[in-house]
């Protein structure tokens, strides 16, 4: 027996032998492969309609949401103690009855907060739990913690809070009179609006009230917090912003952010309602978990979710507009009163975006816009799909309709005369040049494909013959800016791992909420590496993998995260290309990755073999990627600059019928032409367009939020708050894409599609206003949104205001 077999090898000697074997394998692979017939190439992943990556699991009930995560032994459940008074002094909390109930472990109040008693929001104006004052019905005063969720909820209702009622402000008009604001008013001016109005050929003064909207996500607000070793915490949260959850929980517990890990595999809908306000759930659950040293889950039931969380901001408008005989606007003064609720939350940037989008698609030369951020004793209103954009656009579209009726002109003609130009009339009121304008040809194409003129003639004939059922139609455009207006949020990171079997895992800072973000990211990464879509897996958003990620919001989820993932995949691909170039004696740029093959002028190898070869040569098979949006800048003090990387355009033509006896209405036909650039996934994009439109239709027709005189939200369940159903979808619902890539260098040449389609539904509201006008020839249309049957009857003069 030889000596080397009698003596065990050292660890270093074993490693040397493994390297020698790997090098031998590399030497074998270094020879160019024979010119063989390659397998059929794989189809490109991006640009094709791929199934949503979770679709099969979701229809099988196998997709895991926070409430599906197996609960650890000893998990406790929390339920909120809510204020029943809109505004008052909190004098005491009597928990005796609750503590005596079965299964109750205790309560959590403001005195149990180990860190800052105020939430870690940018305005730092909202208490974690109410302390000496309550400011809306539904404000959380504390928690009851029990063995089961129902024990906690029943006990929470037995807590008695002593509150001395104070006068409450429940209306923006009262807030304006009292100068009650969560943030200072903002004014944006260009030119001389007063002078332009004084010399205008025609002037109109008008008001408009537009209600808020409940997010009504299918999965309610929920957080599950698990204590870890050494004062570390694991948070499962249904959130659009894991990074902010991490910051808020650390802030409330008085610890560093690195001690808090937040994970979110998916959420069952967000629509903006889980951008900041999922943070409260996580903070409350974390404080309870710390106090009781047990895992704690907090899941709001639907009624409490309505009462606790904020909505889309209601707006009230007052405007004076001057215009020419042709309908072109010459001057505009517009005041927006924003109902922000009791704290700032995201009201500042929401109100800013409403100011930015008060032009929609139209050039406003002499304009003055005032934005009042009103404090009321209601829930703190928050982000909602469109983020103030819909509230900015709806008023200018109403003004266009009013001008057309005042002058007896065709509304589409008035809209067309006010569009932004190319090379002239192309700078917004916030000093951003509109460089990618496709408004005129897009409107023309939809006008033609929807048979707009022919249908308007038919509607006119119908209305002349029908005394009860009136019809209306409107074709309205959308120009929506894409980027976070807060420039610092326009950044993203991602990780791409390639395994030795050729499979790939990608992780990024965005969250999957049904919109198909993970699917699109996987498509982009698959094409960057030249492999099959099925070989790429997106994993849960996790603050321990990608830190400091921005919220998945502002329609920028794919723009940011898919680009970051693409860069990460490109780093890995470039390393593989360098390896193959060295083996085949060519430049790295001559190496191609496509169809599961890695090809050079010398031949082709399967991607999997190249990966194994790279591993054998100790080449890094993972990488990070980082992306920040170029070109953007913005002065928050003056609301000027280039806040948006590009604009997303679209238009919708909608026809409605209205019963003048009952006020009921129905959407009959919808034709949409949407600018999505090069669509990464057409099926997903069509779903986003259809869903966004229907959600916007609900906001403007049926979804009415009603607070009573005491400040109680009385529409807090599906029985009283009506979202659209399948029966509300028109039989004719046609969606087409504008056939042009993004003119800016965006991932795959695509454009954002999450929010812009919601504003296409303004065509529904304008069509209803046209139908009301047909029922009352020569009368001014005063229809507030939502256009419920009751509001329609008021507009028809059948009910008192």
pLDDT in tens, 95-149: 999 999 999 999 999 999 999 999 999 999 999 999 999 999 999 999 999 999 9
Q: How confident is the model at residue 359 (pLDDT cuts 50, 70, 90)?
A: very high
* CA 393 – CA 358 distance, rounded (Å): 5
> Cβ(442)–Cβ(363) under 8 Å?
no
User: For the chain, what is the largest distance between any 2 Cα atoms, rounded to a whole number of angstroms?
Assistant: 111
Q: What is the pLDDT of residues 493-502, one digit of tens each?
A: 999 999 999 9
Q: What percent of the chain has pLDDT over 70?
A: 95
Residue 25: its pLDDT value, please? 38
pLDDT exceeds 50 at position 516:
yes
Task: Give the number of other Cβ atoms within 10 Å of residue 60's Cβ.
Answer: 8
Q: In the beta sheet, which residues pair with residue 673?
A: 651, 736
> DSSP E strands: which ranges in 620-729?
622-628, 633-635, 640-642, 646-659, 665-674
| Average pLDDT value for residue range 463-474 | 98
* CA 353 – CA 313 distance, rounded (Å): 12
Residue 452: its pLDDT value, please? 98
DSSP state of 258: G
pLDDT exceeds 70 at position 599:
yes
* CA 699 – CA 301 distance, rounded (Å): 23
> Cβ(334)–Cβ(323) under 8 Å?
no
pLDDT exceeds 80 at position 37:
no
Identify the sign of the CA torsion 595, 598, 603, 606: negative
Residue matched to tokens 């199934």: 51
Q: What is the pLDDT of residues 296-352, one digit of tens each?
A: 999 999 999 999 999 999 999 999 999 999 999 999 999 999 999 999 999 999 999
> Cβ(530)–Cβ(594) under 8 Å?
yes
Q: What is the pLDDT of residues 373-390, one digit of tens each?
A: 999 999 999 999 999 999
Q: How confident is the model at residue 637 (pLDDT cuts 50, 70, 90)?
A: confident
> Cβ(736)–Cβ(633) under 8 Å?
no
Nearest to 730 by CA among 766, 783, 693, 683: 693
The first and second tokens of residue 799, run together, are: 């009910």
Nearest to 518 by CA among 533, 530, 498, 499: 533
Q: Which residues contact 466 (CB under 8 A, 6 or more apart)?
A: none
Residue 800: its pLDDT value, please? 75
pLDDT exceeds 70 at position 31:
no
pLDDT exceeds 90 at position 607:
yes
Length of the chain: 801
| Average pLDDT value for residue range 575-596 | 97
Q: Which residues contact 395 (CB under 8 A, 6 or more apart)?
A: 208, 210, 315, 317, 319, 334, 336, 358
Q: How confident is the model at residue 636 (pLDDT cuts 50, 70, 90)?
A: confident
Q: What is the pLDDT of residues 154-211, one digit of tens each?
A: 999 999 999 999 999 999 999 999 999 999 999 999 999 999 999 999 999 999 999 9
Residue 454: its pLDDT value, please? 98
| Average pLDDT value for residue range 401-407 | 98
Residue 752: its pLDDT value, please? 98
The first and second tokens of residue 609, run together, are: 């073999």
Residue 12: its pLDDT value, please? 41
CA angle 363, 406, 458 (to 5 degrees): 95
* CA 542 – CA 222 distance, rounded (Å): 17
What residues are labeled active site?
Answer: 755
Q: In the beta sheet, which residues pair with residue 281?
A: none
Sequence-ordered alpha helix ranges (H) in 324-482:
347-356, 389-407, 411-417, 439-449, 452-465
Treating both helix axes as pointing N-terminal to C-terminal, what angle do 452-465 and 439-449 enclose, rounded to 10 degrees? Answer: 60
Find the radius of gyration of the CA atoms of the chain: 29
Residue matched to tokens 């047990």: 294
Residue 146: its pLDDT value, please? 98
* CA 182 – CA 341 distance, rounded (Å): 8
Question: What phi and psi values does residue 34 have, to the nearest 5 degrees?
Answer: -65, 155
pLDDT exceeds 70 at position 744:
yes
Residue 40: its pLDDT value, please? 59
Q: Tell me which of 36-45, 292-301, 512-521 is least confident.
A: 36-45
| Full DSSP string of 51-115 | PPTTHHHHHTT----GGGSPPPTT-EEEEEEE-SSSSEEEEEEE-HHHHTSTTEEEEE-GGG-SS
Q: Chain-wide mean pLDDT for the chain?
A: 95
CB-count burial class (<10 Å; 0-12, 13-18, 19+) for 737: buried
């Amino acid at each position: 027996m030889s000596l080397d077999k009698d003596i065990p090898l050292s660890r270093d000697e074993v490693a040397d032998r493994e390297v020698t074997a790997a090098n031998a394998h590399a030497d074998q692979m270094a020879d160019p492969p024979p010119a063989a017939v390659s397998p059929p190439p794989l189809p490109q992943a991006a640009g094709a309609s791929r199934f949503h990556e979770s679709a099969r699991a979701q229809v099988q009930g196998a997709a895991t949401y926070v409430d599906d995560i197996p609960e650890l032994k000893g998990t406790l459940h929390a339920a909120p103690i809510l204020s029943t008074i809109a505004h008052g002094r909190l004098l005491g909390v009597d928990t005796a009855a609750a503590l005596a109930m079965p299964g109750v472990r205790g309560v959590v109040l403001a005195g149990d907060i180990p860190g800052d008693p105020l939430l870690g929001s940018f305005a730092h104006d909202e208490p974690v739990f109410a302390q000496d004052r309550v400011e809306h019905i539904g404000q959380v005063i504390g928690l009851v913690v029990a063995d089961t969720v129902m024990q906690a909820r029943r006990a929470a209702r037995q807590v008695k809070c002593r509150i001395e009622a104070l006068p409450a402000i429940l209306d923006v008009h009262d807030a304006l009179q009292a100068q009650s604001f969560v943030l200072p008013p903002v004014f944006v001016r260009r030119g001389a609006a007063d002078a332009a109005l004084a010399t205008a050929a025609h002037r109109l003064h008008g008001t408009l009230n537009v209600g808020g909207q409940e997010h009504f996500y299918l999965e309610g607000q929920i957080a599950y917090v698990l204590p870890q070793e050494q004062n570390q915490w694991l948070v499962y949260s249904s959130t659009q912003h894991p990074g902010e959850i991490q910051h808020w929980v650390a802030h409330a517990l008085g610890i560093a952010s690195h001690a808090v890990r937040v994970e979110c595999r998916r959420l069952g809908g967000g629509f903006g309602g889980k951008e900041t306000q999922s943070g409260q759930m996580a903070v409350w659950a974390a404080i309870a978990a710390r106090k009781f040293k047990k895992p704690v889950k907090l899941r709001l039931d639907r009624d409490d979710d309505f009462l606790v969380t904020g909505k889309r901001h209601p707006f009230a408008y007052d405007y004076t507009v001057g215009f020419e005989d042709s309908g072109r606007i010459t001057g505009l003064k517009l005041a927006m009163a924003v109902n922000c609720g009791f704290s700032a939350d995201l009201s500042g940037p929401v109100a800013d975006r409403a100011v930015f989008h008060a032009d929609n698609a139209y050039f406003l030369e002499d304009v003055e816009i005032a934005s009042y951020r009103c404090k009321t004793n209601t829930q703190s209103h928050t982000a909602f799909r469109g983020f103030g954009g819909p509230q900015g656009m709806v008023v200018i579209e109403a003004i266009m309709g009013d001008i057309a009726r005042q002058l007896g002109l065709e509304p589409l003609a008035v809209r067309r005369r006010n569009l932004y130009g190319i090379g002239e009339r192309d700078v917004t009121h916030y000093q951003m040049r509109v460089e990618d304008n496709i408004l005129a040809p897009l409107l023309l194409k939809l006008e033609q494909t929807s048979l707009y003129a022919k249908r308007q003639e038919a509607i006119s004939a119908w209305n002349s013959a029908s005394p009860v059922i009136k019809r209306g139609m409107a074709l309205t455009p959308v120009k929506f800016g894409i980027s976070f207006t807060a420039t610092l949020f326009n950044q993203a990171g991602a990780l791409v791992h390639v395994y030795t079997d050729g499979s790939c895992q990608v992780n990024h800072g965005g969250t999957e909420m049904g919109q198909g973000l993970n699917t699109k990211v996987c498509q982009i990464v698959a094409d960057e590496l030249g492999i099959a879509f099925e070989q790429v897996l997106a994993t849960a958003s996790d603050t321990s993998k990608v830190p400091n990620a921005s919220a998945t919001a502002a329609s920028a989820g794919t723009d940011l995260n898919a680009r970051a993932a693409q860069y990460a995949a490109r780093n890995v691909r470039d390393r593989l290309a360098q390896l193959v170039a060295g083996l085949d004696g060519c430049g790295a740029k001559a190496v191609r990755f496509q169809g599961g093959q890695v090809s050079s002028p010398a031949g082709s190898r399967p991607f999997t073999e190249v990966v194994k070869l790279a591993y054998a040569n100790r080449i890094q098979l993972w990488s990070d990627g980082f992306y920040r949006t170029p070109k953007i800048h913005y002065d928050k003090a003056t609301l000027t600059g280039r806040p948006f990387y590009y604009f997303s355009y679209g238009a919708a033509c909608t026809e409605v019928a209205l019963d003048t006896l009952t006020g009921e209405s129905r959407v009959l036909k919808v034709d949409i032409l949407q600018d999505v650039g090069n669509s990464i996934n057409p099926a997903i994009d069509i779903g986003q367009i259809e869903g966004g439109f229907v959600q916007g239709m609900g906001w403007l027709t049926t979804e009415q939020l009603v607070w009573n005189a005491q400040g109680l939200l009385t529409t807090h369940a599906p029985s009283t708050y009506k979202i659209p159903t399948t029966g509300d979808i028109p039989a004719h619902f046609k969606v087409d894409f504008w056939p042009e890539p993004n003119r800016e260098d965006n991932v795959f040449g695509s454009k954002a599609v999450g929010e812009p389609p919601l504003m296409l539904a303004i065509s529904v509201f304008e069509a209803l206003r046209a139908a009301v006008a047909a029922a009352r020839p020569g009368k001014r249309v005063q229809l507030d949104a939502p256009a419920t049957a009751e509001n329609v009857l008021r507009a028809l003069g059948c009910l008192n205001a």
